[in-house]
Structure 1
Amino acid sequence: FALDGIRLSKQLTPFEALNGKTQKYVALSVSSKPNESSAKDYYVKTISSESHLRYYNWVENNRLKVEKATNGRVGYIHIPDMSMEGLNEFVKYFYPQVRKEALIVDDRYNGGGNVSPMIIERLRRILLVAKNSRNQEEVMTNPDAVMTGPIVCLLNEISASDGDLFPYQFKKAGIGTLIGKRSWGGVIGIRGSLPFLDGSYLYKPEFANFGADGTWVLEGVGMQPDIEVDNHPAKEYKGEDEQLNKAIEVILEQIKTNTKPQIPKVPPFPDKSK
């Protein structure tokens, strides 16, 4: 109805009225009728970009799709990069879903960073010991937070830098199946220099990666998936994610033949009187 006391109209849209008001509190007058008498005022703080909201919506839609298609048996995680944000997203989604029967890890559009070894370490854990505490029904595991089911990894041509190295390590560690498109293929790292007077920067190659066999890996080549699936642009625009669909199909089949050690029930307590 109105924004900061200025009535909106065909000539003054909400988008125009919000110009110059980024990260500021604004007064929104809202009414179900075209008059001021029933209007209510709400004070909200604006944001500078919708990107985080759109990203959250995309991830949640994917997670809910996986949940619905698998009757809640399979978890879904997307890792946007291999830095602070990516690690936060992993922690936020991994631990609440670690007791599911299987897991889909989505590395698509990953912008890189340097935390992939931390994530790989958690995904490759195998149950070694189970434990139980007094007055506690839940069985704990050692190591902590163990995924006892199959894991698949989605990747695409925009999985870059440490987002390249992640599926490479995922495969080398024998964690699971790679699905999607060949990754970006850029794993030579850079560091910035002092800025130039005109505000520009010079980046130069500083470090590269090679495999345990002593051969250079990934640069200019990328990581090839086990199962290649391309998302058709028209179908993707309509909301059909063929790569995610394939991941769901594969993971449900892998659950049937899963051989990982499972979390056991608490055994009968020993009789120490004998």
Structure 2
Amino acid sequence: MPKTLRSFLDSVAHRADLNYLFQEMLGNMTVGHHNSTGGDVPNPTRYNVGLLGADYKIENGRYRFAKIYDGENWNPGTVAPLTQPGVNVKEGDYLLAVNGRNVTATDSIYRFFEQTAGKQIIIKVGSNPDGKDSRNVTVVPIANEGGLRNLAWIEGNRRKVSELSGGKLGYVYLPNTGGQGYVNFNRYYFAQIDKEGAVVDERFNGGGSAADYFIDAMRRQTWNYWSTREGEDFTTSVHSINGPKTMIINEYSSSGGDMLPWLFRRAKLGSLVGKRTWGGLVGIYNYPTLIDGGGVTAPRVAFRNEKGELDVENKGVAPDIDVDLDPVLWRAGRDTQLEKQSKLHST
């Protein structure tokens, strides 16, 4: 350990403190994916908190449903408690009670849902804050709303791109280059092959693998048409979007999320719009386990470009068109990077 950090050793009171020193030490090597995690740490008892898949606002001394996320109730990862069959709850209703306990705006709403995830509970809702004409509804809260909120964001972006392009452009969001990224690509890309072009959004992409499959699919072109006596004509290649494509990137696109736009540019599929990516394109696997069960994610694979040169690591992939995500406009419901993409296709 460097002398500059040894003086802190006597103050280490928790494994997290030691991990912090490891990270400071490893950071001097200036390579991504080099981290220290885990170890002999306490495992305190944790209690789940059920969630209803909704945003609230406070009005008339009560919590009121401002937005209800509808999700996909056939999909285990995006079940929406308030849109299940027979659950009669609407945006604008007040949440009056949970399992018989009165709920007011001075209460922390989450304490009423402790240890309720996955269990049936009864909530009282109504259109009046005084409880007049209220009704009891049986619901099953979920433990995590992330899937619901992410789906709402994706679907909102898809509708926005369609609106701005007059229905001409498809929209595909890729959260990573692992399992969910492949699920999203196969679900959204091939469902929109009737579009004239596509916006591929890889912002916040968490990486995973070298997703050249995405590039191979997007490079497909129509070679010929087939006319049939019955039914609909078809093409070779069978599934392709032939028109222009652009990709949105940002500073949180990392690892495989660095490589994807690099491949997109290398394949000359279209323009990159947004901000320079994270700049961490090395590989980690089979890294050692420390004596107390912790680990150091030592990189062991370096990326080189087609010329054999080290590339992307500590540099990232720069956009062709640099566009900031304006936080003020974002709060107002606008996405400047997404809007720029759609304008590129319309000019």
Match of 1:47 among 121, 137, 142: 142
* 2:174 partner letter: I
Change (3 A) 1:192 1:19: farther
Q: Judge conservation of contact 2:245–2:271 (CA < 8 Å) in 1.
A: yes
Going from structure 1 to structure 2, the CA distance change for 1:10 and 1:236 (only over 3 Å counts) comes to: closer
Match of 1:66 in 2: 161
Identity rate, percent: 31
The one-letter code of the counterpart of 2:296 is L
What residue in structure 2 maps to residue 81 of structure 1?
176
Aligned equivalent of 1:260: none
Deviation at 1:192, TM superposition (A): 5.2
Equivalenced residue count is 252
Partner of 1:142: 236
Between 209-218 and 25-34, report the one with greater CA deviation: 25-34
Q: Which amino acid aligns with 2:305?
A: G
Shift of 1:206: 2.1
Secondary structure of the structure 2 residue equivalent to 1:191: coil
Alpha-carbon separation, structure 2, partners of 1:199 and 1:44: 41
Q: 1:6 aligned to 2:101?
A: yes
- Cα deviation, 1:109-135, whole Å, max 9, x if unaligned, reads 101011521111111111112223442
2: distance between equivalents of 1:66 and 1:117?
Answer: 25
User: Which residue of 2 is the match for residue 265 of structure 1?
Assistant: none
Letter in 2 for 1:28: I
Q: Secondary structure at the match of 1:145?
A: coil
Normalized against structure 1, the TM-score is what? 0.84
* 2:210–2:260 contact (8 Å) kept in structure 1: no
After superposition, residues 94-173 of structure 1 pair within 5 angstroms as: 94-114=189-209, 116-136=211-231, 138-173=232-267
Of residues 97, 106, 120 in structure 2, which corresponds to 1:25?
A: 120
Relative to structure 1, is the Cα distance of residues 42 and 133 closer, same or farther in structure 2, using a 3 angstrom cutoff? farther
Deviation at 1:12, TM superposition (A): 4.8
| Native 8 Å contact 1:87 1:115 kept in 2 | no
1:186 Cα deviation after fit: 0.5
Counterpart residue type for residue 18 of structure 1 = F
Q: TM-score, normalised by structure 2?
A: 0.67
Residue 206 of structure 1 corresponds to: 300
Asked whether the 8 Å contact 1:189–1:206 carries over to 2, the reply is: yes
Deviations 1:6-41 (A, max 9, x none): 333456554221022223222223334567795433
Match of 2:318 in 1: 224
Distance 1:4 1:127, change over 3 A: same
User: What SS is found at the alignment partner of 1:205?
Assistant: coil
Contact 1:29 1:42 (C-alpha < 8 Å) held by counterparts: yes
Instruction: Name the CA shift for 1:208/1:16 in 2 (closer, same or farther; >3 Å).
Output: same
Contact 1:3 1:14 in 2 (8 A): no
Equivalent residue for 1:256? Answer: none
Q: 2: distance between equivalents of 1:216 and 1:190?
A: 16
1:135 to 1:32, Cα distance in 2 relative to 1, 3 A: same
Deviation per residue, 1:178-208 (Å, 9 max, x gap): 1111111101111254654645322111212
Q: CA-atom RMSD, angstroms?
A: 2.1
Aligned to 1:259: none
Quote the Cα distance in structure 2 between the aligned partners of 1:233 and 1:154: 17
Counterpart of 1:267? none
Deviation at 1:49, TM superposition (A): 2.1
Note if contact 2:210-2:259 (Cα within 8 Å) is conserved in structure 1. Answer: no
Q: CA distance change for structure 1 residues 64 and 198 in 2, over 3 Å: closer, same or farther?
A: same
State the Cα distance separating 1:175 from its structure 2 match.
0.7
Q: Deviations over 1:139-172 (max 9, x none)?
A: 2122221111100111111111111100111011
Q: Separation in 1 of the partners of 2:273 and 2:189? A: 19
Do residues 239 (structure 1) and 333 (structure 2) align?
Answer: yes
Which segment drifts farther, 54-63 or 105-114? 54-63
